[in-house]
């Protein structure tokens, strides 16, 4: 018995000696981990499996940076976003450690990419996931304008009977034959090319205007190239927009360019709402200068027929910015966006990035250090950071659902330990192009 007591005393003495050198047991990661935030959504179920071993994933469900929690503004190194939130220079200034922004989709006009580059932030997009969906929708709208399916359906819903030839002629008035018509495509990027190939199968003659494509593209696709926008508008029976929006092509379709179009032409826009002056379009529809229009995108979104200049416009089809969507495309876009963030965390910015849209500006900035991925701590993934001061952990579905005990753990002891990243200094003049910036007004990629 005395021998056991002696061993017990010796063990306690050794424990006291070693107490100062043993690492404490901590709740949370042993090493700093990058914080990645989904800014304008709340479902992280697709992104988490791709990022959970290299980053902590949070969601904000915000419509503006005013709704984003201070912890995200201070610590996030990566941001994922859709098209419902805008990041201007002032918004970007609020982020203290942001290094990469990935737009879940193709368009990036809701992010000031030049200001981001001046702040040392790479901006990426996912240009390929919805090419087929957008092209299919564009052609669907074009066919609808020619065959007037929407108006015939609406007429039947209102109780119109069409039994005699005269009644059919009245209900289907305006329907036109497609073969031999000329479709003019503005912007022959991925979607523009997909629309052109589909339109040819229906008998359209296809012409396009895109001054930034190299010579010979028209021959490889069997299309006719127009030298100027005016040439395309004059020769097109239907005009379809497939170019990105920037400061140079805002209201590309306006009162002046509409007057250059053929009398009674059709207009389709599945690209960006700001490309079309909706007041001028509404007036042209009322006067019959444009026979019909189909818009999936609008100057103000979410769109409503009850407000805005288009509320009384005739012969108009509108859809709520959904041409990009299918379940498959949505998942693919989210997966690729998460992989792009992962490349930024595990590699070097911008060299490791696949679709960096402001790379030319970033290359003029200082040398980029790589972001180090830290140890795995899976249960902290899916945390929600939302204004004002609520911090909670999301369940497996990316939605708040963890117990109060876990919520208290995150609120009290979550520490990413990410040192604020010093952004490169601003350029002397925000409006001055860096390097040899082309004066683009119609980018070819949607």
- Is residue 321 annotated as a catalytic residue, yes or no? yes
**45 CB-contact burial (10 Å; exposed 0-12 / middle 13-18 / buried 19+):** middle
- In this structure, what are the phi and psi dihedrals at residue 87, rounded to the nearest 5 degrees? -120, 100
Q: Which two tokens stand for residue 21?
A: 């050198």
β-pairing, 265-269 vs 238-241, is: parallel
Contact 124, 186 (CB under 8 A): no
Q: Which of 321, 343, 386, 423 is catalytic?
A: 321
Q: Which of 66, 213, 190 is nearest to 125 (CA)?
A: 190
CA atoms within 13 A on the CB side of 104: 28
Contact 119, 93 (CB under 8 A): yes
Q: Treating both helix axes as pointing N-terminal to C-terminal, what angle do 149-157 and 131-147 enclose, rounded to 10 degrees?
A: 60
Please report, to the nearest 10 degrees, the dihedral formed by the alpha carbons of residues 249, 294, 205, 256 taken in order.
-40
CA atoms within 13 A on the CB side of 198: 21
Q: Which of 70, 247, 301, 379 is catalytic?
A: 301
Please report, to the nearest 10 degrees, the dihedral formed by the alpha carbons of residues 215, 220, 222, 224 taken in order.
-10
Q: Which of 272, 289, 291, 298 is catalytic?
A: 272
Cα–Cα distance measured from residue 81 to residue 87, given in angstroms and rounded to the nearest whole number: 10
- Is residue 416 annotated as a catalytic residue, yes or no? no
Which helix (DSSP H) or strand (DSSP E) does residue 131 occupy? Answer: helix 131-147
Cα–Cα distance measured from residue 102 to residue 124, given in angstroms and rounded to the nearest whole number: 5
Which helix (DSSP H) or strand (DSSP E) does residue 297 occupy? Answer: none
In 180-298, where do the E strands start and end?
A: 182-186, 205-209, 224-225, 238-241, 265-269, 290-295
Q: Given its phi and psi angles, is residue 264 left (phi above 0), alpha (psi -120 to 50 degrees) or beta?
A: left
Residues taking part in catalysis: 272, 301, 321
């Amino acid at each position: 018995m005395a021998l056991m007591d002696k061993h017990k005393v010796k063990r306690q003495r050794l424990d006291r000696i070693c107490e100062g050198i043993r690492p404490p047991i901590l709740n949370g990661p042993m090493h700093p981990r990058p914080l990645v935030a989904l800014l304008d959504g709340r479902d992280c179920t697709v992104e988490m499996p791709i990022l959970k071993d290299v980053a902590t994933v949070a969601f904000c469900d915000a419509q503006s940076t005013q709704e984003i929690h201070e912890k995200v503004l201070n610590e996030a190194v990566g941001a994922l976003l859709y098209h419902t939130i805008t990041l201007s220079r002032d918004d970007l200034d609020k982020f203290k450690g942001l290094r990469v922004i990935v737009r879940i989709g193709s368009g990036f006009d809701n992010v000031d990419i030049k200001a981001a580059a001046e702040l040392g932030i790479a901006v990426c997009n996912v240009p390929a996931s919805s090419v087929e969906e957008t092209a299919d929708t564009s052609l669907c709208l074009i066919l609808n304008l020619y065959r007037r399916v929407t108006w015939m359906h609406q007429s039947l819903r209102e109780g119109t009977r069409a039994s005699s030839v005269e009644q059919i002629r009245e209900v289907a008035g305006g329907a036109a034959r497609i073969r031999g018509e000329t479709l003019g495509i503005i912007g022959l990027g991925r979607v523009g090319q997909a629309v052109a190939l589909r339109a040819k199968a229906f008998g359209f003659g296809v012409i396009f205007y895109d001054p930034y494509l190299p010579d010979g593209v028209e021959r490889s696709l069997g299309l006719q190239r127009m030298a100027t926008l005016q040439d395309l508008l004059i020769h097109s029976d239907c005009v379809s927009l497939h170019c990105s929006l920037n400061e140079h092509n805002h209201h590309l379709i306006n009162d002046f360019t509409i007057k250059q179009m053929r009398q009674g032409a059709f207009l389709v826009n599945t690209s960006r709402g700001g490309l079309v002056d909706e007041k001028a379009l509404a007036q042209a529809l009322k006067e019959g200068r444009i026979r019909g229009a189909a818009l999936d995108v609008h100057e103000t979104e979410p769109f409503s027929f009850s407000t805005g200049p288009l509320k009384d416009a005739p012969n108009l089809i509108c859809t709520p910015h959904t041409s990009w969507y299918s379940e498959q495309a949505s998942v693919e876009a989210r997966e690729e966006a998460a992989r792009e963030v992962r490349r930024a965390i595990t590699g070097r910015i911008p060299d490791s990035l696949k679709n960096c849209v402001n790379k030319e500006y970033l290359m003029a900035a200082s040398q980029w250090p790589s972001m180090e991925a830290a140890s795995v701590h899976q249960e902290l993934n899916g945390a929600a950071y939302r204004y004002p001061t609520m911090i909670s952990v999301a369940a497996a579905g990316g939605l708040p659902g963890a117990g109060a005990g876990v919520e208290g753990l995150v609120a009290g002891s979550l520490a990413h330990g990410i040192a604020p990243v010093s952004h490169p200094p601003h350029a002397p003049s925000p409006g001055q192009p860096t390097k040899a910036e082309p004066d683009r007004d119609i980018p070819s990629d949607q």
